[in-house]
Chain A
Amino acid sequence: MDDKELIAAVQAGEREAARRLYDRHAARVYRLIYRMTGDAGLAEEYTQDTFVKVFNRLSQFRGDSAFTTWLHSVAMSAVLTGMRKLRRLRTRETGLLDAETVAAATPDDDPHLRERLRAELERLPVRLRLPVVLHDVEGFTHREIAGILGVPEGTSKARLSEGRARLRVALASVAAER
């Protein structure tokens, strides 16, 4: 059974089909969300949010795009919404994000290029980090990224390019020291 047939079965009320559809895609969604959040608890929570939304809105899926693209776009939306809430909460309560940013910005904390790359990637603004992670780390195509993020392909390419440029600049000094 392909995704289309499974979706039709789910819409007809077959619980087993829903479980099969979930089993087919949940691990990848979870891994992607974990990549975005770096936290197993959040990855679990946002993966659940994603599938609850997907199953509740399955009737709205028109099949214009691949199911996986739609699924990942819902996942990204869940992540971004969740992270925004988390950021507001943390900022209000402890200013934790500011402290983390300052710490990550200290070059001496990450003497090795790999560690520095990791830190710089995490410091990229979300609008630039998402295309870099989705394309360069996860291997999505620009077409898929455009579908997931709801932007034109050209925007995906431009943001990837800008993200990479920022990374190169940030890493230039470290590379020169080697």
Chain B
Amino acid sequence: MDERELEQRLRKLGEEWRVAPEPPLDRMWARIEGRIHAAPGGGWRWTRRFLPLAAMLVLGFGIGQLVPSLLRSPAEPGTGPLASAPSPDGVPVQEAVNAPFVGVAANYLERVTALLVTLAAQSAESRRGESVEYSTAQARDLLVTTRLMMDAPEPLDPRLRVLLEDLELVLAQIVQLPSRPSAPDVSLIDQALDQRDVLPRLRVFLAEHNPSLP
């Protein structure tokens, strides 16, 4: 095989060797933005105008008991790594195996709820012209937990995964809040969350997993 033939074959190989699928541009962009915002001192300048907070007051109710079902894909009831099988001591094996993860997830959702409730209250104060201070330390901590959950080996409900991705972006933006945001910043809070429909989706999701919720 001479040089020219090899060259031709390599070029032809390029048409079928490791041909990439359609790149998920929007998804990658969302992640890129989230990471840039989360970096210390990072973020575009415009992001400082967006304060994505909202009144997610109802979400604290009953979160702990919802978490196991949130972690299991509805398409695979009773199967997969989270399916339960009784152990000799009567404790479902997978429940025991995943208990630490479920605990972390429950704790995470409770803390996210608490943070957003607090921030929502502070936003209302700010709208009334009162000066408020934000602490971003907790949001930063929750952001790390969000990413750990997204990377966890346990299977997640696909919609929960998408929700976590959006929460990641919301938290990443909260991290960027100045300690004393101006009133115009606060007026954009609802707008930023509305864009992602986080609250309605959370409500629908939680209602589907626990019909006893209001």
Q: List residues of chain A with CB under 8 Å of any chain B CB.
A: 10, 13-15, 18-19, 22-23, 26-27, 30-31, 34-35, 38, 40, 43-44, 47-48, 51-52, 55-56, 113-114, 117-118, 121, 132, 136-138, 164, 167-168, 171-172, 175
Given A40-B20, A137-B11, A167-B6, 17 further pairs, Cβ under 8 A:
A15-B46, A22-B29, A23-B25, A26-B25, A30-B23, A34-B21, A43-B20, A47-B28, A48-B35, A51-B28, A52-B36, A117-B13, A121-B17, A136-B14, A137-B10, A137-B17, A164-B7
Q: Is the CB of A22 within 8 A of B32?
A: yes
Shortest Cβ distance from residue A130 to the other chain B in the assembled complex, whole angstroms:
13
Q: Which chain B positions have C-beta within 8 A of A113?
A: 9
Closest to A38 in B: B18
Shortest Cβ distance from residue B63 to the other chain A in the assembled complex, whole angstroms:
30
Option from B18, B20, B32, B44 in Cβ contact (under 8 Å) with A51? B32
Shortest Cβ distance from residue A157 to the other chain B in the assembled complex, whole angstroms:
13
Known: A13-B46, A114-B13, A137-B10. A48 touches B32 (CB 8 A): yes
Give 19 CB contacts A-B under 8 Å. A10-B44, A13-B44, A15-B46, A15-B47, A18-B44, A26-B28, A34-B20, A38-B18, A48-B31, A55-B32, A117-B13, A121-B13, A136-B7, A136-B14, A137-B14, A167-B6, A167-B10, A168-B6, A172-B1
Q: Is the CB of B36 within 8 A of A171?
A: no
Q: Is the CB of A47 within 8 A of B23?
A: yes
Q: Which chain A positions have C-beta within 8 A of B3?
A: 164, 168
Q: Is the CB of B46 within 8 A of A31?
A: no
Q: Is the CB of B18 within 8 A of A34?
A: yes
| Assembled-state Cα–Cα distance A113/B23 (Å) | 30
- Per DSSP, chain A at the interface is helix
Known: A38-B18, A137-B17, A172-B1. A56 touches B39 (CB 8 A): yes
Known: A34-B18, A55-B36. A136 touches B10 (CB 8 A): yes
Option from B7, B27, B32 in Cβ contact (under 8 Å) with A52? B32
Known: A44-B24, A114-B9. A56 touches B46 (CB 8 A): no
| Assembled-state Cα–Cα distance A97/B147 (Å) | 28
| Assembled-state Cα–Cα distance A123/B21 (Å) | 23
Q: Which chain B positions have C-beta within 8 A of A48?
A: 28, 31-32, 35
Closest to A18 in B: B44
| Assembled-state Cα–Cα distance A44/B46 (Å) | 26
Q: Does B128 contact A (CB under 8 A)?
A: no
Q: Which chain B positions have C-beta within 8 A of A23?
A: 25
Option from B1, B13, B44 in Cβ contact (under 8 Å) with A15? B44
Q: Is the CB of B11 within 8 A of A136?
A: yes
| Assembled-state Cα–Cα distance A167/B11 (Å) | 14
| Assembled-state Cα–Cα distance A29/B3 (Å) | 28
Q: Which chain B positions have C-beta within 8 A of A43?
A: 20, 23
Closest to B15 in A: A137
| Assembled-state Cα–Cα distance A34/B32 (Å) | 18
